[in-house]
Amino acid sequence: MTMERTNPLGQAQTLRELSLALRTLFTAFLLTIGFGYLAAVFYLFLVDIDPHLKMGMRPIAGIEMKYRGQPSGSRLEAALRGAMADKLRPEERDAIVGWVRGGATQAGFGQIKPILDRSCTVCHSAKSGLPVPPLDSFETVAKLAETDRGPSFVQLARVSHVHLFGLSFIFLLTGTIFTLTAVAPTFKLTVVALPFVAIWADIASWWLTRYEPLFAYVVFVGGALMGAALAVQILVPLWQMWAPRSNATAATARPSKS
């Protein structure tokens, strides 16, 4: 039997019984959110995962470094021993690392600048147009030579409140649409509540990873659960709005009391 919920006026409230205009509106919104989320995941991969994979690090280690920093070294040294290790001769790499560990002074910069100009600034310069930090001046190189302590409290606070507000509105809208689906009440409740729990766990773990690296795993799991919940909130409504009635009916034959 086909499930159907009604409002106080007795009008149908399942997605299939909505007007064509509303179904088109919901579909356009859900598809746009879905493609936007995929673009965000791809961006995070390019910025947070891929560079660390090239350094021979696991994704979790990359997440840990993002929020905890690298107290035992600098971004420049980590790159020279990781992703950029094959771009310089061993003696050139050792000279730059020695300058970093010697305090990264402006007086000593003149000794390593020819190495950077010859081997690095082809890509690492403002003129290259590549999304990489420039290495063509003492100021920019010295900044990369500083001890990496991760994002500051101000940076974390700024990113946290933006994500809390933005993601909450997204899941409010996708969750509202999902509540109109004809699925089991327990499953519906889980899918509606799960992303908010994942958001809290994810963002709280940004802060906690600064003190305990194990919370990097919670960041990863929270993001995965958020993505899974969003996928369900998008795909199930799309199926029930547009799938042939016989298929949609067979897939939603269990009555709902929600």
Q: Which of 107, 128, 148 is the last residue of a domain?
A: 148
Considering the domain boundaries, does residue 140 fall inside one? Answer: yes
Contact predicate 30/230, CB 8 Å: no
User: Do 207 and 185 belong to one domain?
Assistant: yes
User: Which residues are within 8 A (CB) of 57 and not within 5 positions of it... i.e. 6 or more apart?
Assistant: 65, 82
Task: Name the least confident of 35-44, 114-123, 140-149, 216-225.
Answer: 140-149
User: Do 26 and 142 belong to one domain?
Assistant: no
User: Do 143 and 155 belong to one domain?
Assistant: no
> Residue 71: helix, strand or coil by DSSP?
strand
User: Do 129 and 162 belong to one domain?
Assistant: no
DSSP H helical segments within the chain, as ranges? 20-44, 50-54, 59-68, 75-81, 90-101, 106-119, 138-144, 153-178, 185-209, 215-242, 245-251
Considering the domain boundaries, does residue 257 fall inside one? Answer: no
Domain range for 38 is: 15-50+151-251
Q: What is the pLDDT of residue 211?
A: 87
Q: Which of 85, 115, 148 is the last residue of a domain?
A: 148
Q: What is the pLDDT of residue 122?
A: 77
Considering the domain boundaries, does residue 258 fall inside one? Answer: no
∠ CA 150-51-165, nearest 5°, is 55
User: Do 163 and 184 belong to one domain?
Assistant: yes
DSSP 159-173: HHHHHHHHHHHHHHH
**What are the angstrom distances between the C-alpha of 192 and each of 5, 230, 233?**
18, 9, 8
Count the neighbouring beta carbons within 10 Å of the beta carbon of residue 135.
Answer: 22
> Model pTM?
0.67
pLDDT-derived band at 82 (thresholds 50, 70, 90) equals: low
> Residue 7: helix, strand or coil by DSSP?
coil
Q: What is the pLDDT of residue 1?
A: 40
User: Do 120 and 36 belong to one domain?
Assistant: no
User: Do 189 and 143 belong to one domain?
Assistant: no
Mean pLDDT, rounded, for 150-171: 92
Considering the domain boundaries, does residue 186 fall inside one? Answer: yes
Task: Name the least confident of 142-151, 197-206, 211-220.
Answer: 142-151
User: Do 189 and 211 belong to one domain?
Assistant: yes
Q: Which two tokens stand for residue 35?
A: 């493609």
Our count of domains for the chain comes to: 2
User: Do 123 and 214 belong to one domain?
Assistant: no
Q: What is the pLDDT of residue 192?
A: 97
Question: To the nearest whole number, what is the mean pLDDT of the chain?
Answer: 83
Mean pLDDT, rounded, for 77-84: 72
Q: Which of 148, 163, 181 is the last residue of a domain?
A: 148
Q: What is the pLDDT of residues 46-75, one digit of tens each?
A: 877 887 777 677 878 878 878 887 755 677
Considering the domain boundaries, does residue 167 fall inside one? Answer: yes
The answer, yes or no, to whether residue 10 has pLDDT greater than 50, is no
Mean pLDDT, rounded, for 148-155: 80
Considering the domain boundaries, does residue 60 fall inside one? Answer: no
User: Do 170 and 235 belong to one domain?
Assistant: yes
The answer, yes or no, to whether residue 20 has pLDDT greater than 80, is yes
The answer, yes or no, to whether residue 196 has pLDDT greater than 80, is yes
Mean pLDDT, rounded, for 212-222: 93
User: Do 43 and 168 belong to one domain?
Assistant: yes
pLDDT-derived band at 140 (thresholds 50, 70, 90) equals: confident
Q: What is the pLDDT of residue 138?
A: 87
Contact predicate 74/147, CB 8 Å: yes
Q: Which residue has the tokens 């509202």?
A: 176
Considering the domain boundaries, does residue 67 fall inside one? Answer: no
User: Do 84 and 115 belong to one domain?
Assistant: yes
User: Which residues are within 8 A (CB) of 3 and not within 5 positions of it... i.e. 6 or more apart?
Assistant: 14, 182, 252, 254, 255, 256
Classify residue 20 by burial, with Cβ atoms within 10 Å: 0-12, 13-18, 19+: exposed
